[in-house]
Amino acid sequence: MKTLLTGGSGFIGSNLTQRIHGTQHCDLKIVSRFQLQQCFKHPFEIIDSKKNEPKLNATFANSTHVVHLAARVHVMRDHSQDPLMEFRRVNTDGTLNLARQAAASGVRRFIYLSSIKVNGEATHYGCPFTPNDLAAPQDPYGISKHEAEVGLREIAHETGMEVVIIRPTLVYGAGAKGNFKSLMKLVARGLPLPLASIDNRRSLVGIDNLVDFIITCLEHPAAANETFLVSDGEDLSTPDLIRRMARAMNRPARLLPVPKSVLMAAAAMLGKRDIALRLCGSLQVDISKARALLGWNPPVSVDEGLRRAVK
């Protein structure tokens, strides 16, 4: 299997690269705008997708599989005049251009890392998203990812190249950034958090489980032209996540009981309503399709994933 990986210098890409080089998949080429800082036992080629388009085309000619991770991700302070246009330029148009090149070069399977934001931003308690739900993206990032999915399915139908779409939930692990890193810092400092009264459920996916699932989709014949949701298979409330994170750090979990309505009102006043919604609301996914069709089960438990994340 000759695999081309985009976004190899990112959080997910660097972990996937290390894992692939620990298996028989040693013929790996990485398309990246940045040089990887890690050293690996097996040689691989790094291609700058901004400067070496002829070389990129030549690389496709020798590739059987593509894993496309590169994307324009969440921008907390987006100063562009048209954020949706910027997300579309990279996540939609860039993805479809790459897929067309791949299909024309004879690539057999194209793995696309999408986002659970294609399904939506929240679920009702106990009513998880499924791969068959109607798409309901609510922000420019989610819209751009959904449009890329639609285009990829059309390319698969027209060319015969197999497409696999993966929608992960929030990804955590050593080196993760964003909200998970911020919460981990608060727990590490032992600060009291007013979240003891929150009764929600959220699905997360540890980086080791996500990487394992991507590799499964590279190899498994039944993954062809399917869409999967992926998580750790255990949903946590926000207080439970904090307690288990604290336990992994050997720190006390300091939680204060504050009504959800009070939290939401305070967050709105501070301009932090989106963060409060993630901490207080539910977002669950159903991974039964991955279990049944691929025989896949998350190999790493939540507690072990958190221990690895806080090292």
What is the set of active-site residues? Answer: 141
DSSP state of 93: I
Instruction: Report the sign of the C-alpha dihedral through residues 167, 169, 170, 172, in that order.
Output: negative
What contacts 47, CB < 8 A, 6 or more positions away?
29, 30, 31, 32, 55, 56, 59
Number of residues written out for the chain: 311
Tokens of 289: 């399709």
Give the DSSP H or E segment for 293: helix 288-294
Rounded Cα distance between 210 and 212, Å, is 5
Tokens of 162: 């197999």
Strands 204-206 and 170-172, by their bridges, are parallel
Rounded Cα distance between 84 and 28, Å, is 33
Contact 64, 5 (CB under 8 A): no
Tokens of 121: 């931003």
Q: Would you report the helix, strand and coil content of the chain in percent, each value rounded to 5?
A: 45, 15, 40
Cβ of 82: how many Cβ atoms within 10 Å? 11
